[in-house]
Amino acid sequence: MSVSNAPTPRVTVLQPEVNQSDMTGGNASVRPRLLIVDDISDNRAILTRRFQRRGFDVVEAECGLTAIELIDKHSFDLVLLDVMMPGIDGIEIHCNERFSLGGTSSVPSRARNHGISVA
């Protein structure tokens, strides 16, 4: 296959939605909250920078136990989970009944040599 016939990669850009009622009520500064859970600090730093640039309020957790404690105490719009962590991993958090009943969406992910991929 030549370069000109190569398929264009699909890219999804995540940006916070601005609710018109928030703008009229004076809450235009309300940003979606994201919890990033990864045991590798470089991965957390890269993801945090990327999502903060797009207007997200980002909280980080370096292990599953800390993530569960944060989820129990705070409200998040989305949780990005590393599936390969020591102790409690992202799959266990994702499948946890207390977590799934909270109405928060979660995305299990795994790091690769050339970036982050969604599992």
Is pLDDT above 90 for 114? Answer: no
Q: In what order do the strands lie in the sheet with 105-112?
A: 57-61, 33-37, 78-82, 105-112, 115-118
Which CATH superfamily, name and number, covers 30-118? Response regulator (3.40.50.2300)
Is pLDDT above 90 for 98? Answer: no
Give CA–CA dist 52/58, Å, rounded: 7
Is pLDDT above 50 for 118? Answer: no
Q: What is the pLDDT of residue 93?
A: 81
Is pLDDT above 80 for 19? Answer: no
Contacts of residue 103, defined as CB under 8 A and 6 or more positions apart, other chains included, come to: none
Is pLDDT above 90 for 13? Answer: no
| CA 48 from centroid of its chain's CA atoms | 9
Q: Name the pLDDT band for 56 (thresholds 50, 70, 90).
A: very high
CA atoms within 13 A on the CB side of 99: 23
Give CA separation, 44 vs 36, 49, 60, 72, 81, in Å: 7, 9, 7, 21, 10
Q: Count the neighbouring beta carbons within 10 Å of the beta carbon of residue 38.
A: 28
* pTM score over 0.85: no
